A = this chain, B = another copy of it.
């Protein structure tokens, strides 16, 4: 299935370890063979890579490994196209500028018959439900606020818009302005916050391990969020169905969770995605 990977940290961090496990699912250990995209914030700037080659065999993915880009916020997406054409314009993450900041967005899911009215500030370039949802969120935020509001107001507005859009179907997404990272689950999303004391981690999909103690300082805090856990010897937490969280500085700082949270099993999540016609 399409998979999401996100990272939010309190210091610029190299995502290569997590990305290695993630990208192996792009053709080798899983069946995500239709390209991928990854966006790195560096300060206020964004480095964005899109590839229509499977991520396991992509020269762009090789470059990312070789380059060891350090970032405080990363969003990545592996795509298995089951409907609609595969084109660069339809490749996640999508990017727009709002309030003098770049925003990135990636989506895993399917919104049925979702055609919001064309925006005055933002319009989709490609023809995916995902980009339309992103543009709708930005359009609504920009229409309501001439400048970026405080974190509480922003989170409440994103939560309201998310609740509105998820009525149309599956809406697992990640969105970041380089400062905070919004993550919403309709089915499966897991996260881990790594901080001191750091230990060793083993990738599930690969015979690779890393000793984080050797590559971090005691003050580092690194949140990694992925559709499915990437490591086998660490305890990952799961987002509830319909839960929205905001990560900042490597930790969850806001959350909106249903009163009676439901946590979906992996089998159930995959079955629902399949039934909805989402690429799995």
Q: Which residues in B have their C-beta under 8 angstroms from that of A122?
A: 97
The residue on B at minimum CB distance from A91 is: B45
Q: Which residues in B have their C-beta under 8 angstroms from that of A161?
A: none
Do B88 and A101 touch across chains, with their CB atoms under 8 A apart?
A: no
Copies in the complex: 2
Do A124 and B95 touch across chains, with their CB atoms under 8 A apart?
A: no
Given contacts A59-B66, A60-B63, A66-B59, contact A100 B123 (CB under 8 A): yes
Q: Mark A105-143, 1 if CB is under 8 A from B, else 0.
A: 000000000000010011111100000000000000000
Interface size on A, residues (CB 8 A): 32
State whether the Cβ of A47 lies closer than 8 Å to any Cβ in chain B. Answer: yes
Do A47 and B95 touch across chains, with their CB atoms under 8 A apart?
A: no
A43 to chain B, nearest CB (A): 6
A12 to chain B, nearest CB (A): 12
State whether the Cβ of A254 lies closer than 8 Å to any Cβ in chain B. Answer: no
Do B50 and A88 touch across chains, with their CB atoms under 8 A apart?
A: no
